[in-house]
Amino acid sequence: MNYSLNYLSTMPEVFADALLGGKDRNAYNHKREGEWKSFTYQDVYENIQNVGFGFHALGLKKGDKIAIFSENRPEWSMTDWACAHFGFVSVPIYQTSIPRQINYIVNHAECNVIIASSKELAKTIISLKAKLNTLKHMVVIDEAGFDEDWILSWDTLLKKGVAEKKRSEKSISDITEKIKPDDLWSIIYTSGTSGLPKGVMISQFNIAANVQQSQAALGFLENKRWLSFLPLSHSFERVTSLFSFWVGAEIYYAESITKVADNLKEVKPQYMTTVPRLLEKVYAAVLDQIASGSPAKQKIFNWAQGIGNEAVEKYLVFNKQPRGILGAKYSMARNLVFNKISGIFGGEFIQCVSGGAPLSDELGKFFLAAGIRIIEGYGLTEMSPVTHVNDNDNIKFGTVGKALPDVQTRILEDGEILLNGPNRMEGYYKSPDETKEAIDKDGWFHTGDIGFMDEEGYLKITDRKKNIIVTAGGKNIAPAAVEREITSSKYIDQAVVIGDRRKYLIAILVPSLEMFAKWGKLQDPPLEFSNYEDVVKSREVEKLIRHELDEHQQGLARYEQIKYFFIAPQPFAIETGELTASLKVKRNEIIDKYNEEIEELYKN
């Protein structure tokens, strides 16, 4: 097949190309005991050799599987690079995975070694050891003090690697020259919104191509700081980490999701990837602060937002600065309002790529006016994962942008999106029937997403094919669109819309404890919401939510509007089975869990 890009065809080639930019530059940064510790590109190169040869010392050979069970940190990425160079197959496991999920993945992938970052995570593996049929060794990154033959420390692994390299008299070049483009690079288990996870097989060329496709489309600047906080176990953050390394970035791993705000101010990154939920929280906090401010402060903010929206529509979406009278007004608006918002992100931000869930127009325009360019994209694990991204010089809010170089897009009559390209997966591990169902005889991957392309080739996603609601009256409704309208209220964190083959729509809602706690203090007399249960029980909360639904559903057709709702007794969470590890709602599980409450609402 002829491609438009001249691809480096394996990840060792990508890595070698990255080193040409200078080995003494900082590559990875991780906070330990309150201080940022750095690894240069040379440090990374030496570590991946020692890790790879260390695995050889443990008896591993090309094609063996190594699970990575860890939070984001340099050792995660260095293990991944070592696997790529030595021909081992990396198998990421989310740090938040429950024992049942870990057991399934390790056994299904037939992992020989697992890397666990901490004593706590290591104990989880120890408790499962008797059920993990192929597991021979566990490497614990942090010093944990285990005294069992099958458990070794990270430092011990590195020392074994040094000795093995000397003993074998082989260089890393001797190893990497045997890596082929179609070699299996990783098995990534999709968390799935129902059923057992599927192991997506990604080849060396699949991921190498996607690294280069992404950079060709987005054109990130070299030698800039990136903040990494989404899980590396998720394919979106993982490919971001790989292509940012390739372009010479300095990557900072956030301490945790709760520390992102602090780390943004410390690191002052120029780039990061995100999901809309983080941006929504920042936006809601800004609006809440304005709402509790003086009338003069509110007036200035509303004026600035009006100027900002005009600047966005006429100039900023085209990556141009406003001119003339509008330029002068926008400059004033930035000084009075927007620079403070930009400061939340550290003050040196250039661009942010958002994926994983739809980004609302309102959110995109707000941040763009504040100097935070949010570039929305689209992808799936099965496509390594990125396939579409907005054009930085022509952002179209509400779309996921144009196809990356060499990605082919096709829309079926029923609206399903089909994709193909050098980044398309090899198939599902040990699942030939599911592979055949997902990839047709002509090589097209059937995404299961519904959407359309506009006249300029920008793709818009409307919903999942399986989620489309057909009401008893024959109306087709995309629940995601309705849920977006509902959760645009700062008082509603999550929503699941139901109504297939029913006379009307209902919703299961999760209110925002943070927003209601602030709202309660402003009431006369004040209302106390110290925990989520207080919110669930409150009649005042129910009344306000009904009001919010009336306000935020005005743009929907009558048949698309929610007639009844109930408040979930607890927020949707990974631990309770309502969310995937990548924070996507498991619609079917939630509907099954609250079946009685749903049926009660349909008795009205």
Full DSSP string of 210-275: HHHHHHHHH-PPSS-EEEE-S-TTSHHHHHHHHHHHHTT-EEEE-S-GGGHHHHHHHH--SEEEE-
Amino acid at 546: R
Q: State which residues form the domain around 495.
A: 468-601
pLDDT average, residue stretch 567-580 = 88
- Residue 547 is encoded by which pair of tokens? 């009001």
Question: Residue 242 — very low, low, confident or very high, per pLDDT cuts 50/70/90?
Answer: very high
The number of beta carbons lying within 10 Å of the beta carbon of residue 123 is 14
pLDDT average, residue stretch 245-272 = 94
**C-alpha closest to that of 303 among 322, 342, 339, 329:** 329
Task: Give the position of tokens 């100027």.
Answer: 307
Kindly state whether residue 77 falls inside one of the protein's structural domains. Answer: no
- How far is the C-alpha of 16 from the C-alpha of 49, rounded, in Å? 13
Question: Residue 474 — very low, low, confident or very high, per pLDDT cuts 50/70/90?
Answer: confident
Kindly state whether residue 511 falls inside one of the protein's structural domains. Answer: yes
- How far is the C-alpha of 429 from the C-alpha of 433, rounded, in Å? 11
Question: Residue 195 — very low, low, confident or very high, per pLDDT cuts 50/70/90?
Answer: low
Kindly state whether residue 436 falls inside one of the protein's structural domains. Answer: no
Better-scored residue on pLDDT, 401 or 196: 401
Least confident of 16-25, 265-274, 465-474, 546-555: 465-474
Kindly state whether residue 383 falls inside one of the protein's structural domains. Answer: no
Kindly state whether residue 498 falls inside one of the protein's structural domains. Answer: yes
Q: Is the pLDDT of residue 234 over 80?
A: yes
What pLDDT is stored for residue 360 in this prediction?
A: 85
Q: Give residue 76's region: left, alpha or beta (phi > 0; psi -120 to 50).
A: alpha
Counted domains in the chain: 1
- How far is the C-alpha of 334 from the C-alpha of 433, rounded, in Å? 56
- Residue 290 is encoded by which pair of tokens? 């304005």
Better-scored residue on pLDDT, 556 or 75: 75
Phi, psi of 348 (to 5 degrees): -120, 20
Kindly state whether residue 33 falls inside one of the protein's structural domains. Answer: no
Kindly state whether residue 494 falls inside one of the protein's structural domains. Answer: yes
Question: Residue 467 — very low, low, confident or very high, per pLDDT cuts 50/70/90?
Answer: confident
pLDDT average, residue stretch 166-180 = 94
| 8-state DSSP, 560 | G
Residues 6+ apart with CB under 8 A from 22: 41, 248
- How far is the C-alpha of 19 from the C-alpha of 50, rounded, in Å? 17
Question: Residue 481 — very low, low, confident or very high, per pLDDT cuts 50/70/90?
Answer: confident
- How far is the C-alpha of 292 from the C-alpha of 495, rounded, in Å? 26
Q: Are strands 225-228 and 386-389 parallel, antiparallel or unpaired?
A: unpaired
Say whether 474 sits in a helix, a strand or coil: coil
Kindly state whether residue 519 falls inside one of the protein's structural domains. Answer: yes
Q: Say which CATH number the domain at 579 has.
A: 3.30.300.30
Total residues belonging to the chain: 604
pLDDT average, residue stretch 39-61 = 97
Q: What is the pLDDT of residues 257-267, one digit of tens each?
A: 889 999 999 99
- How far is the C-alpha of 37 from the C-alpha of 39, rounded, in Å? 7
What pLDDT is stored for residue 289 in this prediction?
A: 86
Q: What is the pLDDT of residues 72-123, one digit of tens each?
A: 999 999 999 999 999 999 999 999 888 988 999 999 999 999 999 999 999 9
**C-alpha closest to that of 41 among 57, 59, 22:** 22
- How far is the C-alpha of 386 from the C-alpha of 422, rounded, in Å? 11
Q: How far is CA 228 from CA 273, 394, 451, in A?
A: 7, 26, 30
**C-alpha closest to that of 430 among 181, 109, 190, 113:** 109
Question: Residue 358 — very low, low, confident or very high, per pLDDT cuts 50/70/90?
Answer: confident
Task: Give the position of tokens 């696997």.
Answer: 83
Question: Residue 193 — very low, low, confident or very high, per pLDDT cuts 50/70/90?
Answer: very low
What pLDDT is stored for residue 576 in this prediction?
A: 85
Q: Cis peptide before 322, with omega less than 30 degrees from 0?
A: no
- Residue 294 is encoded by which pair of tokens? 């003086």
